[in-house]
Amino acid sequence: MKFCIQSRLDPQSNELMGLARSYLEEFGLLFDEENPEIVISIGGDGTLLHAFHRFAHKLDKIAFVGIHTGHLGFYADWKPSELEKLVLSIAKKEYNVVEYPLLEVQVQRNNKESSTYLALNEATIKSPDVTLVMDVELNGNHFERFRGDGLCVSTPTGSTAYNKALGGAIIHPSLQAFQITEMASINNRVFRTVGSSLVLPAHHNCMLKPVNEQQFNMTIDHISVIETDVKAIIFNVANEKVRFARFRPFPFWERVHESFISDK
């Protein structure tokens, strides 16, 4: 088996990276940064996001697993003290692969080629001007004209991240869906939005159409891009999926409790 390691590059993560590589090579596994079968992320959820985008072009061949060297995360669920146990399980191939949905973001332009992105957590769109104004279409039908700070479109696995901070719903990561959450929408006697997060199933799509010609600030997870000459932005549940190596049960709701409720 071939493996690769993504580190947060702090001293503790780098030390664990060296140990993990040494242990796995002793078991006969091959270190391969180009075509790994399993990618070990050492750091936090942000480190795994970097690993995901690093290998986004070959997701069908890779499974991810995370060791956290900070706070317990939703992607990085192994402790540093469990390194040897994890290495042994990888060497013995004692794991199952689970797949979770991703978000596809298509940016259509008037006079340039379109671009397609994949997001593990979420995509956001804001205007460098005071207010973002976008027509929102669901499945080809006009739904609303949004005015506000911006919009966040998240995956189920990303629903506990920025989406939650905006008041969006927490969605179990096994559901094939995506969520649209408003950022400070303008609602008064003249302008009106639905005011609630929308959860769309995999066979639905959302299209945003600019009302005015302007540039937009977009993020795809941790990646920031500036988009100009935008005709429309289309969101779907992607055909691609992210694959995680699971060595033990992953109690999602327990993780939610530990992260947001428990004081232990």
- Which active-site residues does the annotation give? 45
d(CA 2, CA 135): 47
- Helices 83-91/11-26 angle, 10° precision: 30
Neighbours of 13 (CB within 10 A): 23
Residue 59: closest CA among 106, 102, 110, 30: 102
Tell me the sheet residues that pair with 110.
none
d(CA 12, CA 71): 13
